[in-house]
Amino acid sequence: MPDDTRTRRVRGDGVDLAVHERGSGPTVLLVHGYPDTHAVWDGVAARLADRFHVVAYDVRGAGASSRPSGREAYGFGHLLADMSAVLDAVSPGAPVHLAAHDWGSIQSWEAVRTTPERFASFTSISGPCLDHASHWFRERLRQPSGVPAAARQLLHSWYMAAFQVPVVPELVWRHWLAGRWSRRMERAEGVPAGDGHPAPTLLQDAVAGLNLYRANMLGRNRSAHRTGVSPRVTVPTQVIVPTEDAYATPALAAEAPRPFTEHLRVRPVPMSHWALLARPEEIARLIADHIDHTAAP
């Protein structure tokens, strides 16, 4: 596939964001997770660009975008302001179709809740809304039959607690994990190195991105900019559920949004967490199908 990617800088909320565009047509915005860059979407973007104006950007702290210091700089308020700046630059007059993975999906749930008028559709992969997830845990723990599912997810989410520990996660990335990431991705996810993954900035991205967990996971740090915001989602939403995901269990991914999402499609796929790298053609097809579904009369 020819690469006609166009790159520019967009000023976000006090940071410079590297924005990559290809194709033409209705705009599809792709948001990456941790510890990735926009390049994690390249295989999907190349396939969508036949029909759409596809936009992907390095979130703050990743790739060629700015890396502000301190955990507060990575709070949801700043992340959403960055996304809004990208939207203003690439699609100022029309809502976009949003697709996001991992932490990109977590922040995107916040975006579709707070500014639904900016989105024509939303596809979430392996990144639940934190408020939906909290409600799901509470409901599971209220009844004995739900405890095993909650316990399984807690085991899958061990790293979220580990990332709150000062200094140690940084040391692990610097002295062990960064050098072994490619091998781990190939063995655990079936994704060999190549095509921009992992990024040459992996170590810096991983260390800076720890602040995503530290700034947003605790309720007291998330409430200030969201007081009075309903957990309901009115944007037509598709949740792609990789059934072999090592981080977000299918039960959480499929069940957590149901009480809060007005127009929801749940699409289980027999893939692992980085499905967009392992099976980009399938992920692109599902995103395009959801866009067509929301546009149908």
The whole-angstrom separation of Cα 59 and Cα 250 is 26
Structure tokens at 159: 């790293």
Q: What is the pLDDT of residue 223?
A: 43
pLDDT digits (tens, 9 = 90+) for 5-63: 999 999 999 999 999 999 999 999 999 999 999 999 999 999 999 999 999 999 999 99
In whole numbers, what is the pLDDT of the chain averaged over residues?
93
User: Left (φ > 0), alpha (ψ -120 to 50) or beta: where does 169 sit?
Assistant: alpha
Say if residue 119's pLDDT is above 60: yes
Average pLDDT over residues 112-129: 97
Rg (CA), the chain: 18
Average pLDDT over residues 167-188: 95
Of 282, 39, 264, the closest CA to residue 132 belongs to: 264
Q: What is the pLDDT of residue 92?
A: 94
55: Cα within 13 Å, side-chain hemisphere: 24
Residue, of 223 and 263, whose pLDDT is higher:
263
Average pLDDT over residues 131-137: 94
Q: What is the pLDDT of residue 254?
A: 94
Q: What is the pLDDT of residue 30?
A: 98
Say if residue 193's pLDDT is above 90: no
Q: What is the pLDDT of residue 211?
A: 97
Q: What is the 3-state secondary structure (H, E, C) of 40-102?
A: HHHHHHHHHCCCCEEEEECCCCCCCCCCCCCHHHHCHHHHHHHHHHHHHHHCCCCCEEEEEEC
Q: What is the pLDDT of residue 54?
A: 98
Q: What is the pLDDT of residue 112?
A: 98
pLDDT digits (tens, 9 = 90+) for 93-114: 899 999 999 999 999 999 999 9
The whole-angstrom separation of Cα 211 and Cα 205 is 10
Q: What is the pLDDT of residue 220?
A: 41
pLDDT-derived band of residue 158, with 50, 70 and 90 as boundaries? confident
Q: What is the pLDDT of residue 204?
A: 98
pLDDT digits (tens, 9 = 90+) for 197-242: 899 999 999 999 999 999 998 754 444 444 456 789 999 999 999 9
pLDDT-derived band of residue 3, with 50, 70 and 90 as boundaries? low
Contact by Cβ (8 Å): 88, 12 = no
Q: What is the pLDDT of residue 228?
A: 57
